[in-house]
Structure 1
Amino acid sequence: MGESEEKNQRWRSLRIVLPDAMASESGGVAYLFLHRPSRSNALNPDIFQELPLAIAALDSNPNVRVIVLQGSGKHFCAGIDLGTLANADHVSNAIGRHKEQFARSVKQMQAAFTAFEECRKPVIAAIHGACLGAGVDMITACDLRYCTKEALFSVKEVDLAITADLGTLQRLPGIVGYGHAIDLALTGRTFNGSEAKTIGLVQEVFASKQELDDKVGILAHEMATKSPLSVMGIKSVLLKSRDLTVAQGLDYVRTWSTAFLHSEDLEEVVKARAEKRKPVFSKL
């Protein structure tokens, strides 16, 4: 999808604010909003269908270097829309073909969040209000997470008599540790921004939504000034190494460096330092 097509795309449940290619203050930061405020941004089939398309469009947009994920209205995400679960054909007497169809539906929903990891560009979640159930699945697939002090989190699926199946049980232990992950998953208890920071789910907690927006904006714009090739490499190597032994991870990063270390971005850094100025990097 080209940039003009992306701007004209009619999203049902998302809103995208693109950086202005001609305005330096926009700094290559795109804002992606879950946009169902009347439903506290509960995740419906439209969102699951649109998220990977939106991420792919932002990933291919050369003016975008960092993506900030936010929720419109009072909450970040109230979890999966219960209507989506009610309509899912997974009752115990369903025949094999219906079960296979449901399995493909779950795989599609999983892929919507995996798209954040597959995106070459960093994705930062800025969380306010409630972030429940599938909302936690979603933020664990983001690269960085920040929240307000009054933000509320819950791995809520156990209270719905289901097993979280969109990524929390796979990603959360690597972020907060097994002990915290199993505690949150088995109890379904609600915890606030301060505890989220203590256990490592978020990087920082801010006093208000305005401060969250301001500080995350500053961070995103600073990140957008870095070498796109370097940022892409850091994200790729860290994600790949998460699932490898140290030796395998070293092999992977050696291959990456062989391919990308000697680049025009490195040449620009050397030149900028010699000229005592900030480096300016080309678009991807």
Structure 2
Amino acid sequence: MAEYKSLKIKQINQNSSVFYLYLNNPSHLNALTTEFFNEFPKALKSLDQNPNANVIILEGVGNNFCSGIDLGLFTNTASSSENDNGRNNERLRRHIKYLQSAVTALEECRKPVIASIHGACIGGGIDIVTACDIRYCTKDAFFSVKEVDLAIVADLGTLQRLPAIVGYGNAVELALTARKFSGSEAKELGLVSRVLGSKDDLDGFVARIAEDIAAKSPLAITGTKAVLLKSKDLSLDQGLDYIATWNSAMLLSDDLKEATSAYFQKRKPVFSKL
């Protein structure tokens, strides 16, 4: 398994198809560095292509999930030896698109990604969790769409993804005020699906959810994720047509035969790796 500077991949149970992907910069509250943006898509791609991985749990090492983008990244981005504003601006746009692609890699990964959030989830942390498929947090977790306080417009996906999760009005209020909000409010808004009492409670609960999902048909799980993401950009009629086409290609699989046989035989199904 590849070694990373800003991340860590771990398979806690060798007999499990659940893999953990850790943001691993605890001395800086898991701030997102240049190394993170270089490594994150590669790590997700490696898990996506790993036939032993069915579900990914995304966590932060230490006492926090993520404190946002490392401020040093802004300094490096702003510096340039070019005197041509047009070329400087084109380079900056290309760099922003590169950073965006690291977060979008969460959606491009076929395997479902569960965000397990504790402590701070600020700025770039919100970008990341809104691109995950499921989100859970501890009661002492706190969140902030912090970018306006740094005199920038959030540009890695929060303004595009958050409104669909919490509603447009709530997203506007959170983005313009940059206020801190709690795990319980995140649950009320729909940003997270459940709030757990402690980190240990969160770890145990998320592990059980992940194992439950990982035991299901990988064709059905990856297909459900793909269709849900695609349907966000389609009308109802277009979405129904898309799933009809998808299932016409995928429905009649060995997984369907196995699920049906297991149901009638009152046993747990066993599916082939994807």
Determine which of 91, 111, 123 is the counterpart of 1:101. Answer: 91
**Partner SS state of residue 78, structure 2:** coil
Q: Tell me how far 1:90 sits from its aligned partner.
A: 7.0
2:30 match: 41
Q: TM-score, normalised by structure 1?
A: 0.93
1:153 Cα deviation from its structure 2 partner: 0.2
| 1:4 counterpart residue number | none
1:89 and 1:98 in contact (8 A); partners too: no
Determine the structure 2 residue equivalent to 1:172. Answer: 162
Instruction: State the 1:19 CA deviation.
Output: 5.8
The sequence identity of aligned pairs, in percent, is: 57
Distance 1:89 1:100, change over 3 A: same
Distance 1:94 1:19 in 2: 51
- Matching residue of 1:135: 125
Aligned to 1:224, which of 214, 217, 235?
Answer: 214
Give the Cα–Cα distance (whole angstroms) in 2 for the partners of residues 179 and 30 of structure 1: 36
1:2-48 Cα shifts (integer Å, max 9, x gaps)? xxxxx1x220100000365xx43xx2000000000000000011001
Deviations 1:171-224 (A, max 9, x none): 000000001000000000000000000000000000101100010001000110
TM-score w.r.t. length of structure 2: 0.97
- Please say if residues 66 and 122 of structure 1, whose CA atoms lie closer than 8 Å, have aligned partners that are also in contact: yes
Superposed CA deviations along residues 85-136 of structure 1, whole A, max 9, x for unmatched, are: 1221279x86211211111111111111111111111000000000000110
1:157 aligns to 2:150 (yes or no): no
User: Does residue 204 of structure 2 align to residue 214 of structure 1?
Assistant: yes
2:115 counterpart of 1:125: yes
Q: Secondary structure at the match of 1:210?
A: helix
Alignment partner of 1:198 out of 184, 188, 191? 188
Unaligned stretches of 5+ residues in structure 1: 1-6
1:273 equivalent in alignment to 2:267: no
Structure 2 alignment gaps of length 5 or more: none
Is 2:27 the partner of 1:64?
Answer: no
Q: Distance in 1 between matches of 2:264 and 2:173?
A: 53
Measure, in 1, the Cα distance between the counterparts of 2:193 and 2:267: 30
User: RMSD in angstroms over aligned alpha carbons?
Assistant: 1.2
